[in-house]
Amino acid sequence: MHVTAAALAEAGADLSEVTVAIQGFGKVGSHAAAIFAARGARVVAVSDQYGGVRDPGGLDVRGLLEHAERTGSVVGFERAEPIANDDLLALDVDVLVPAAVGGVLDGASAARVRARWVVEGANGPTTADGDRVLAERGVTVVPDVVANAGGVVVSYFEWVQANQAYWWTAQEIDEKLEHRMQHAYDEVSGLARREGLSLRDAALVIGVQRVAEAHQIRGLYP
């Protein structure tokens, strides 16, 4: 959600102005749906391994979470209409969040995407062919290495607190996370603009540079 907000702000848009479709309703997708809705975005479709549901006016995410908890799936939610996973990827929405499994956006499925932004919640949901097709069609892809890094960042915060025998409040953690994710997106986006790269390539360049610099500073060790 934080990097989505950053990408939207860069284009002069706001979360409260956009529609979102999320493929996957597990530990990533369900929480993403709840947070997007809480921040004012209109979550119009979600899906899991069994199928999906949609409501162009905006899903009742809280009710959907209760339904999924009770039944084990989003399928059958009464206050929405059913939709297939493949059709969800092709919905006319502003933001598409593939948050299920890898490789769902290949050359064929990417050609059907109508979203302006694809924000990768899963690991590797876009293939190399899919990346190329989306780039040719002018779709901005926020790569997984940036978009879904929040969990690792918070794990780092836990490690820091453990080392210091100290703790922060939940609000402080949220603020620190938002700052880190915003800063990461800004660095990646800035390099992408300066060098004419995709966000994915820019993120990989920064990652490789940091590893190389660390090796130069401290040297190789067993």
Confidence of residue 219 (pLDDT cuts 50, 70, 90): confident
User: Domain end: 115, 144, 173, which one?
Assistant: 144
Q: Are residues 155 and 110 in the same domain?
A: no
pLDDT above 70: residue 38: yes
pLDDT above 80: residue 129: yes
CATH number at residue 100: 3.40.50.720
Confidence of residue 71 (pLDDT cuts 50, 70, 90): very high
Q: Are residues 190 and 106 in the same domain?
A: no
Residue type, 108: A
Q: Are residues 34 and 84 in the same domain?
A: yes
Q: Are residues 105 and 178 in the same domain?
A: no
Segments of 57-201 assigned E as strands: 81-83, 95-98, 117-119, 140-142
d(CA 181, CA 35): 15
The residue segments making up the domain with residue 102 are 2-144
Go through the chain and tell me how many residues it has: 222
Segment 158-185 mean pLDDT: 96
d(CA 160, CA 151): 14
User: Domain end: 144, 167, 202, which one?
Assistant: 144
Confidence of residue 218 (pLDDT cuts 50, 70, 90): confident
Segment 117-121 mean pLDDT: 98
pLDDT above 90: residue 220: no
**Structural domains in the chain (count):** 2
d(CA 37, CA 98): 17
Q: Are residues 139 and 159 in the same domain?
A: no
Predicted pLDDT at 24: 96
Structure tokens at 75: 């399928």
Q: Are residues 15 and 82 in the same domain?
A: yes
Q: Are residues 59 and 131 in the same domain?
A: yes
pLDDT above 70: residue 222: no
Q: Are residues 182 and 211 in the same domain?
A: yes
| pTM for this predicted structure | 0.92
Q: Are residues 135 and 187 in the same domain?
A: no
Q: Are residues 133 and 158 in the same domain?
A: no
Q: Are residues 20 and 124 in the same domain?
A: yes
CA neighbor of 20 nearest in space, from 123, 98, 83, 73 = 98
Segment 182-187 mean pLDDT: 96
User: Domain end: 144, 161, 194, which one?
Assistant: 144
Q: Are residues 105 and 177 in the same domain?
A: no
